[in-house]
Amino acid sequence: MSVVTDIAITPEPESLTTTSRRSGSVLRDALRLWRTRIGLVLVLGLTLLAGAGPFFAPHSPTDFAGPPFSNPSSAARFGTDYLGQDVLSRFLWGGREILVMAVLATAFGIILGAIVGLLAAYSRNWLDDVLMRGMDVILAFPQIMLALVAIATVGPKPWLIVLAVGLTTLPRVARVTRGAAQPIVARDFVASAEALGVPRIRILGRELLPNILSPLMVEVSLRLTYSIGLIAGLAFLGFATSTNGANWGTMINQNRVAVQAQPWGVVLPVIAIALLTIGTGLVGDGISRAAAGIDRGRSTG
Amino acid sequence: MHSGGIWGFILRRVLLGLLVLVIVSVLVFAATQALPGDPARAILGRDATPTSLAALRAKLHLGQPVLQQYWTWVTGLLHGDMGNSLANQEPVSTYLRPLLINSAFLVFLSGIISIPLAIGIGAYAAVRRDKAFDVSSSILTLLLAALPEFVVGVGLVVIFATVVFQVLPAVAQIPPGGRPWDDLNGMVLPVVTLVIAVTPYVARIMRASMIEVLESDYVEMARLKGLDESTVIVRHALPNALGPTFQVIAINLAYLAGGVIVVEYVFNFPGIGGALVDGVNNRDLPVVQALAMLIATLYVVLNLTADIATILVTPRMRTTL
């Protein structure tokens, strides 16, 4: 009955034809595509910027460096922000929080989503129905809506934002995992493992999981893309861990009133978030193409 | 495995949708209960006077048992009574109605532009598979699909309203009592932002679906009959390729309902998104609860419509029920 829904939820059309190719060879194929390479360079570059940036910041992100919204000078290379803080330093500090939270939220969603999806596909009984209807409940909210309801109740705590974003990622991953695992559950080697009395947990982990790694890797990059957008977006709406924290989303919100006079406080973080999400998006598309066997052996793409 | 044919399927889907909504309402309601300690004090803060605390407790029906509180809230919702906003004391329904019209207009404009655009791009890319249009549109949709809405919105403001060019207004403010269609200039950037957020996804699904149809036997048959290519595409391929796209369109309309939250904030557009962000900031729980229920209901209804529409337009699906 949920055949229809599963097809539509699968994010990339290409992954519909995903077969159970070995994940290692999929990754190798993906790396032959230019889009994967460019994406990887972007992701690694921005991760480096976000991780190592604070060590190169000329000022502390909250130090007073000049009059508010002043133009670039030798003291502040990219000018100052709405409180007179150094834009460059805040920019170098501003990616860390987003990236750490997005990675944690994605990991949470992927791990639990894969477990739920595998259990549902393997059980083939009432458990399948109960689990997937439970997923439907979470899917009834847009991702940002659920995060906002949680924040309205408890406040913008970092663990809460990670939990809310991870929780809304979960059902989306579970659907893809279940869809990918269902044809595998029906195959002979699963039945023979059952006949041999292999414990259920080993069937899930050793027989099913390795066969759905490719769609799962596509999900990792896709969900990471959305998690980064969501967490930066929540900061942009004013719901970051601290109201004056150095965070790319917060920076955009704080400095956009004077974007015409002093654009750097907005332009730098906008470009950084854009390049980061484009990078994770490109990597995901590359893996998805390699998994579907598209462009195999071709170096263009 | 299942019985009852197509009507049984529709009935099951509707019942499941209702069940999901009931559970959602319990969760949304539980959000009030999850406030640590006394909800009234959590909302009003530490400096609240005993009188105001007592008044708020009475307003939230905090004296009643939990089940009764839930029942009062749910039956109120069904009658259109969503309680009073804690921030401005107005009934939530009075406060939200004009904002809802504004947001609906924004979503309507974005949908009416993005859906034909996406179907057109996807179908044409499939017909011109691996040609210049297909390659460039697929790269463009891939890049745009990865961008968060607020980055697109702020980027458009930087390019078209402030730093680079100053051709469009950066905000879409509507004077109180005014209508969004009075100032269409201000609507351009918010609508373009939402169109950019939705189009790539639908276009990609449409392309994949169209390619599958173009490779099918009946399209081959139509070609072999000697029909010219445009007839084959418009009369035979396109209608069949639209089936799976219905689902995606509904999901994206629902997605637009979520996307407006951030986009309205970017452009100071007076809609339910702005109201939600304000509600979260002020901990105005009646407003947040009402909007959460509203958007969840819209989501469930759209998904339901999509499931049923897909079954109706795809005969081969009916046999697998």
Instruction: Read off the pLDDT of residues B248-266 as tens digits, 9 standing for 90 and up.
Output: 777 677 778 778 899 999 9
User: Which residues in chain B are contacts of A286 at CB distance < 8 A?
Assistant: none
Q: Which of A83-97, A285-299, B242-256 has the lowest mean pLDDT?
A: A285-299
**Higher pLDDT, residue A173 or A296:** A173
Predicted TM-score (pTM) of this structure: 0.86
Quick check: A270 and B154 CB within 8 A? yes
- Which residue of A148, A234, A266 is the best one to mutate when testing the B interface, meaning the one whose CB has the most B CBs within 10 A? A148
DSSP string computed for B13-34: HHHHHHHHHHHHHHHHHHHHHT
Return the sign of the alpha-carbon dihedral for residues A21, A23, A24, A29.
Answer: positive
User: Which chain A residue shows the shortest CA-CA distance from B35?
Assistant: A153
User: Which residues in chain B are contacts of A137 at CB distance < 8 A?
Assistant: 20, 23-24, 27
Q: Which residues pair with A64 in a beta bridge?
A: A85
Quick check: B162 and A263 CB within 8 A? yes
Closest to A276 measured CA to CA, from A48, A12, A10, A57: A48
User: Which residues in chain B are contacts of A229 at CB distance < 8 A?
Assistant: 147-151
**Residue B57 pLDDT more than 90?**
no
* Tokens coding B170: 């950066």
Quick check: A270 and B281 CB within 8 A? no
CA distance B172 to B189: 8
- Whether residue B30 lies within 8 A of chain A, CB to CB, comes out as no
Instruction: Read off the pLDDT of residues A195-238 as tens digits, 9 standing for 90 and up.
Output: 888 888 888 888 888 888 888 888 999 999 999 999 999 999 98
User: Which residues in chain A are contacts of B20 at CB distance < 8 A?
Assistant: 133, 136-137, 140
Residue with tokens 């834009």: A87
Q: Which residues pair with A80 in a beta bridge?
A: A86
- Which residue of B136, B151, B157, B202 is the best one to mutate when testing the A interface, meaning the one whose CB has the most A CBs within 10 A? B151
Instruction: Read off the pLDDT of residues B271-284 as tens digits, 9 standing for 90 and up.
Output: 888 889 988 888 88
Structure confidence at residue B3 (pLDDT): 53
Quick check: B280 and A225 CB within 8 A? no
Chain B stretch 88-147, residues whose beta carbon is closer than 8 A to a beta carbon of chain A: 142-143, 145-147
Return the sign of the alpha-carbon dihedral for residues A96, A99, A105, A107.
Answer: negative
Q: Which of B9, B20, B146 sits opposite A277 (nearest CB)?
A: B146
Q: Which of A218-227, B31-40, B111-120, B230-239 has the lowest mean pLDDT?
A: B31-40
Please report which confidence band the pLDDT of residue A5 belongs to, taking 50, 70 and 90 as the band edges.
Answer: very low
CA distance B233 to B230: 5
User: In sequence order, which residues have a C-beta less than 8 Å from that of residue B242 and are 6 or more positions away?
Assistant: B119, B209, B313
Quick check: A13 and B292 CB within 8 A? no
Q: Which of B163, B205, B280 sits opposite A260 (nearest CB)?
A: B163
Closest to A249 measured CA to CA, from A50, A1, A6: A50
Q: Which of A236, A263, A281 sits opposite B145 (nearest CB)?
A: A281
CA distance B36 to A19: 49
Q: For chain B, where are the alpha helices, taking DSSP H only?
A: 5-33, 39-44, 50-59, 66-78, 92-127, 132-146, 149-156, 184-214, 217-224, 229-231, 238-266, 272-282, 285-313, 315-318
Q: For chain A, where are the alpha helices, taking DSSP H only?
A: 3-9, 23-32, 34-56, 87-93, 96-123, 126-139, 143-154, 158-185, 188-195, 200-202, 213-236, 248-255, 264-292
DSSP B237: I
Q: What is the largest CA-CA distance in chain A?
A: 75
The set of long-range contacts for B300-305, using a CB threshold of 8 Å and a minimum separation of 24, is B300/A140, B300/B17, B300/B20, B300/B21, B300/B24, B301/B17, B302/B250, B302/B251, B302/B253, B302/B254, B303/A5, B303/A139, B303/B17, B303/B250, B303/B251, B303/B254, B304/B13, B304/B14, B304/B17, B305/B250
Instruction: Read off the pLDDT of residues A33-61 as tens digits, 9 standing for 90 and up.
Output: 888 999 999 999 999 999 998 888 888 88
Q: Which of A35, A237, A260 sits opposite B162 (nearest CB)?
A: A260
Which domains, from first to last, does chain A contain?
15-295 (1.10.3720.10)
CA distance A20 to A39: 24
Structure confidence at residue A237 (pLDDT): 92
Please report which confidence band the pLDDT of residue A189 belongs to, taking 50, 70 and 90 as the band edges.
Answer: confident
- Whether residue B157 lies within 8 A of chain A, CB to CB, comes out as yes
- Whether residue B86 lies within 8 A of chain A, CB to CB, comes out as no
**Residue B36 pLDDT more than 80?**
no
Using a 10 angstrom Cβ sphere, with 0-12 exposed, 13-18 middle and 19 or more buried, the burial of residue B92 is buried
Closest to A46 measured CA to CA, from A85, A84, A106, A102: A102
Instruction: Read off the pLDDT of residues B188-240 as tens digits, 9 standing for 90 and up.
Output: 899 999 999 888 888 888 888 888 888 877 778 888 887 777 777 777 777 77
User: Which residues in chain B are contacts of A4 at CB distance < 8 A?
Assistant: 247, 307, 310-311, 317
Structure confidence at residue B38 (pLDDT): 64
**Higher pLDDT, residue A13 or A128:** A128
ipTM, two decimals, is: 0.84
DSSP A206: I
**Residue B268 pLDDT more than 60?**
yes
Cα→Cα distances A34→A39, A42, A244, A289, Å: 8, 12, 39, 12
Instruction: Read off the pLDDT of residues A6-22 as tens digits, 9 standing for 90 and up.
Output: 333 334 443 344 444 56
Question: How far is C-alpha B311 from the geometric centre of its chain's CA atoms?
Answer: 22
Please report which confidence band the pLDDT of residue B315 belongs to, taking 50, 70 and 90 as the band edges.
Answer: low
Q: Which of B28, B154, B320 sits opposite A256 (nearest CB)?
A: B154
Structure confidence at residue A6 (pLDDT): 35
